[in-house]
Amino acid sequence: MNPVQHHSLFTDFDIDLFKAGKHFKLYEKLGAHLLEVDGVYGCYFAVWAPSAKNVSVVGDFNYWVEGQHPLQVRWDSSGIWEGFIPGIDKGTKYKFKIQSNHGDVITEKADPFALYCETPPHTASVVWDLDYKWKDASWMKNRANHNGLDKPMSVYEVHLGSWKRNLEQNRSLSYIELAEDLVSYVKETGFTHVEFMPIMEYPFDPSWGYQLVGYFAPTSRFGKPQDFMFLVDKLHQAGIGVILDWVPSHFPSDAHGLGFFDGSHLYEHPDIRKGYHPDWKSLIFNYGRNEVRSFLISNAIFWLQHYHADGLRVDAVASMLYLDYSRKDGEWEPNIYGGRENLETISFLKDFNEAVYQMFPDVQTIAEESTSFPMVSRPTFLGGLGFGMKWMMGWMHDTLHYFKKEPIYRKYHQNDITFSMTYAFTENFMLPLSHDEVVYGKHSILGRMTGDEWQRFANLRLLYGYMFTHPGTKLLFMGAEFGQSEEWNFESSLEWHLLQYDYHKGIKQCITDLNALYRNYPALYEKQFSAEGFEWINYSDSENSVLAYIRKGNKEKEQLIVVCNMTPQVHEHYRIGLPKSGKLTEIFTSDKLEYGGSGVTNSSVIKVEKLPWNGRECSAEIQLPPLGMVVFTLS
């Protein structure tokens, strides 16, 4: 049995940074690291456990016997235990056996910094490396041109376990299989990015990955870490960006996880009012503890550095920002100023965003934040939280609520569909139709649409047309792009068989063409976060439930005219005011026969007349298709 040798990867400077909450590459020090010491190969182990009396490494190399490979605690009061064990090789399974100073509590914990984990329900960590030869140099060099705020970002949100399944073997596709099937599909449909629901190791399938244990390990359900790198690599080679869901908001209390790690409240806040989430029955990080901040920010940097992620979508930010989130009176304590804001979280999120953008200025952070908390996507030097974008939850709720209404009643709810423009430029908004909208009895997006079969599909195409021409970036959950009928079920595949039917094929083609429209016309993205990029033509025609607006880019001559008809009534001579004379050319209609529409289209060229309308000197008559959206160039 090889004894543990004293060895350290930490310098005094590392320890100072760690204690200050400013060590953002902790994964290079803590965890398990294969290396050579004095000509001997083995593995260096290091774990943070300041309340431990003893820590030893147990694993398949020592028959999981405690005490045979004890680690030594550092002299500097950092609480880090470390040591080098000769002969340990890649693939070795291990855990940390921790005896606490608090009584005789002995716990067996997975490594918080493990690069690879056993497949649940097994819970051991696995010694691994990050060796991989990337082939995405072209993408990485030029990705600022794909991820910028003035670039098109149309995101396909994916749950890897249920996107498509191998029906013969009744299993999810592997990372390697997805690198073939998913990459070609996303390329075909024209999305610019994919967003993966959490792929970090998680113990409980029904959590969809939002309760993590292995923060530094891609889930082994679908393959090895290098297999996931291969998937990201293939997406990049196809010109597709990768956004990862990141969950710093809470973690589960599983025995092998972060909770009560060394017999003390190490990662979670010790006050139950700040450390326990009543909705999710989970634990909340102690954002005021510097070492925890180092852990979390290091984790974010890790996925950007070693897995070439192009962005992080931060889950449940609202639950982090407010001390009274989902809590009744008496269940929370105000901050030092008497307010409900969690000042430690605010400070942490600012540090996180500053670190990310300093080290990776060509990526984006995106906040899932459902309240009116100010300046979420404004720079920290202006007092903001520093995110690149924020989900526009209000738009999502108002729009889906509107489209559930029978068209005959929509004239009474015109303000519901136009209200988003009153605050559209207060943040850098992403418009989400996410997984949260197709579960728990909410129906699928198609299932929200009203009317007979033809009208339901027409409404869906109209909704997507409105979404893709509304200011902001876009996110669509998998299945919505072809009109999934049933709610999403994480245990089964999407309803791919529906693509044999014309209406569903039509929805998919419509989304494909909308993605192309969004990518190909700068007026739809160059000023998508600026009031300069949008102008109403007419928002007050509630009687006809019609919206007309202009989208603008950097060049005046490239502006687009968009008109939405929210009723089944065809308008053959509908006049709209226009900013200048010239001609209108229809470049998109959601009513195409190919999509399953009725085929109402406008002639190739519509002359603009010098006839005042809608407060403008010029105007033109157009045809509006039933439950349809049309887009014109004006030249």
Question: Residue 213 in 3-state DSSP?
Answer: coil
Tens digit of each residue's pLDDT (9 = 90 or more) over 220-270? 999 999 999 999 999 999 999 999 999 999 999 999 999 999 999 999 999
DSSP-derived secondary structure letter, 479: T
CA-wise closest residue to 591 among 614, 612, 621, 570: 570
Pairwise CA distance, residues 25 & 22, whole Å: 9
- Distance (Å, whole) CA 257 – CA 267: 10
- Predicted confidence (pLDDT) at residue 116 exceeds the cutoff of 80: yes
d(CA 209, CA 197): 7
549-568: b or e for each residue (b if 16 or more CB lie within 10 Å)?
bbbbbeeeebbbbbbbbbbb
Residue 456 has pLDDT above 90, yes or no: yes
Paired sense of beta strands 429-433 and 389-391, if any? parallel
Structure confidence at residue 1 as a pLDDT band (50, 70, 90): low
How do residues 349-404 score in pLDDT, each as one tens digit? 999 999 999 999 999 999 999 999 999 999 999 999 999 999 999 999 999 999 99
Quote the Cα angle for 25-26-28, to 5°.
Answer: 80
Q: For residue 442, what pLDDT is reported?
A: 87
Ranges of H-type helices in 534-578: none
Three-state secondary-structure class, residue 546: strand
Residues 6+ apart with CB under 8 A from 413: 402, 405
Amino acid making up residue 555: K
Fold of 12-126: Immunoglobulin-like (2.60.40)
Is residue 142 pLDDT above 70, yes or no? yes
Identify each DSSP E strand in 518-617 by its residue range. Answer: 534-538, 546-551, 560-565, 571-578, 583-589, 606-607
pLDDT at residue 24, as a whole number: 97
Residue 322's pLDDT is what? 96
Q: pLDDT-based confidence at 452, cuts 50/70/90?
A: very high
Chain centroid, CA 178 distance in Å: 19
Query: At residue 106, does pLDDT exceed 90?
Result: no
What pLDDT shows up at residue 202? 95
* Structure confidence at residue 603 (pLDDT): 80
Structure tokens at 587: 């470049």
Other C-beta atoms lying within 10 Å of the C-beta of residue 6? 10
Catalytic residue among 195, 268, 368, 591: 368
Specify the pLDDT at position 483.
Answer: 96
What gap in Å lies between CA 424 and CA 534, rounded to an integer?
10
User: Which residues of the chain form CATH 2.60.40.10?
Assistant: 12-126
| 315 noted as active-site residue | yes
pLDDT score of 45: 98
pLDDT at position 492:
93
Active-site choice (268, 315, 344, 427) = 315
The two most distant CA atoms of the chain are separated, in Å, by 93
3-state secondary structure string, 148-189? CCCCCCEEEEECCCCCCEECCCCEECCHHHHHHHHHHHHHHH
What's the mean pLDDT in 413-433?
96
**pLDDT tens figures, 70-95:** 999 999 999 999 999 999 999 999 99
16 an active-site residue?
A: no
Residue 576 pairs in a beta bridge with 620
In this prediction, residue 2 carries a pLDDT of 74
* Burial degree of 198 (CB within 10 A; 0-12, 13-18, 19+): buried
> Which helix (DSSP H) or strand (DSSP E) does residue 628 occupy?
strand 628-634
Calculate the dihedral angle through the C-alpha atoms of 630, 156, 405, 368, rounding to the nearest 10 degrees: -120
**Helix, strand, coil: what percent of the chain each, to 5?**
30, 25, 45
| Spatial distance between the Cα atoms of 253 and 235, rounded to a whole number of angstroms | 34
Percent of the chain scoring above 70 in pLDDT: 100
Q: With 0-12 CB in 10 A as exposed, 13-18 as middle and 19+ as buried, what is 472?
A: buried
pLDDT of residue 3: 83
What confidence tens digit (pLDDT) does each residue in 293-326 have? 999 999 999 999 999 999 999 999 999 999 999 9
Cα gap 262→249, rounded to integer Å: 21
For CATH 2.60.40.1180, the residue range(s) in the chain are 531-634
Over residues 468-519, the pLDDT tens digits come to: 999 999 999 999 999 999 999 999 999 999 999 999 999 999 999 999 999 9
Query: How many Cβ atoms from other residues are within 10 Å of residue 408's Cβ?
Result: 11
Q: Where in the chain are all domains bearing CATH 3.20.20.80?
A: 158-178+193-363+379-391
Q: What CATH number does domain 531-634 carry, 3.40.50.1860, 3.40.1280.10, 2.60.40.1180, 1.10.490.10? A: 2.60.40.1180
* Mean pLDDT of the chain, nearest integer: 96
CA dihedral 347, 353, 357, 359 (to 10 degrees): 70
First CA to last CA distance, the chain: 81
The CATH code for residues 158-178+193-363+379-391 is 3.20.20.80
* pLDDT (mean) for 613-622: 95
* Residues whose CB is less than 8 angstroms from the CB of residue 365 and which lie 6 or more positions away in sequence, other chains included: 311, 312, 313, 314, 352, 353, 356, 357, 386, 387, 388, 389
Helix (H, G, I), strand (E, B) or coil at 196: strand
pLDDT, residue 440, reads 87
The answer to whether the peptide bond before residue 579 is cis (omega within 30 degrees of 0) is: no
DSSP 597: S
Single-letter residue type at 434: S
**pLDDT by residue (tens digit) across 586-616?**
999 999 999 999 999 998 789 999 999 999 9
What would the pLDDT profile of 162-192 be if each residue is shown by its tens digit? 999 988 888 999 999 999 999 999 999 999 9
